[in-house]
Amino acid sequence: RIGGDEFVLIAENADIPTAVRIAARLGRVLSEPLELSGHAYSVGASIGIAFYPADGDRSEDLIRRTDIAMYQAKSGGGGYRLYQPEMGEQLEKRLMLAKRLQQALETGKLQLFYQPQVSLETGRIIGAEALLRWFDADLGWISPSEFIPVAESRGMMVPLGDWVLREACRQVGEWQKAGMRLDGRVAINVSALQ
């Protein structure tokens, strides 16, 4: 046991089929309901698999790579994953995006774009939708489909949502001060976490 609910299993001389059989059996056994005090409980497992020496020749490297594969399994709903080098690259990219997104949030580098909502009957603007956009000086425009999942997985959705709400309200106030009237409402997407 290396901490909390994380365990390491070492299977000497195991090849891929053997490791997969072990992982599948562990998953099957752990998914069987346990009865405690008259209540049935189920436990799931997310299992990462790495091989010596192909995935690392030091224990620290192997543990780190099994951890990466385990997080891939967890994000896919459980089961097992074999470590692949690109998994580390994806994780590094996500960590880098999370760090840059946090900095962008703290330094005011995020933007809201306002997409008009138009009545099909009259052709008049009846509101707007505030859309969060992010331009990074080094990476360029980063799609919400790329940074929103990172924000969700890193616990950043509430502060991000708070920023969007404050900024949209500030912008509507600026429009009013300038004598511009927006008929209707400004719609804002709110995370279920918020």
Q: Which amino acid is at 184?
A: G
Question: Measured between alpha carbons, how far is 98 from 96 in angstroms, rounded to an integer?
Answer: 5
**Three-state SS at 117:** strand
Are 55 and 83 spatial neighbours (Cβ–Cβ below 8 Å)?
Answer: yes
Q: What is the pLDDT of residue 41?
A: 86
Q: Which residue has the tokens 């901490």?
A: 3
pLDDT (tens digit per residue) in 139-179: 999 999 999 988 887 789 999 999 999 999 999 999 999 99
**In the prediction, which pLDDT does 113 show?**
96
- The dihedral of CA 159, 162, 168, 172: what is its sign? negative
Q: What was the pLDDT predicted at 193?
A: 78
Does the pLDDT at position 92 exceed 80? no
**Which residues touch 110 (CB under 8 Å, ≥6 apart)?**
104, 132, 133, 134, 160, 163, 167
Spatial separation of the C-alpha atoms in residues 174 and 56, rounded to whole Å: 57
Q: Two tokens at 161?
A: 């949502």
Q: Which residue has the tokens 């996500």?
A: 94
Element containing residue 110 per DSSP (H, E): strand 110-118
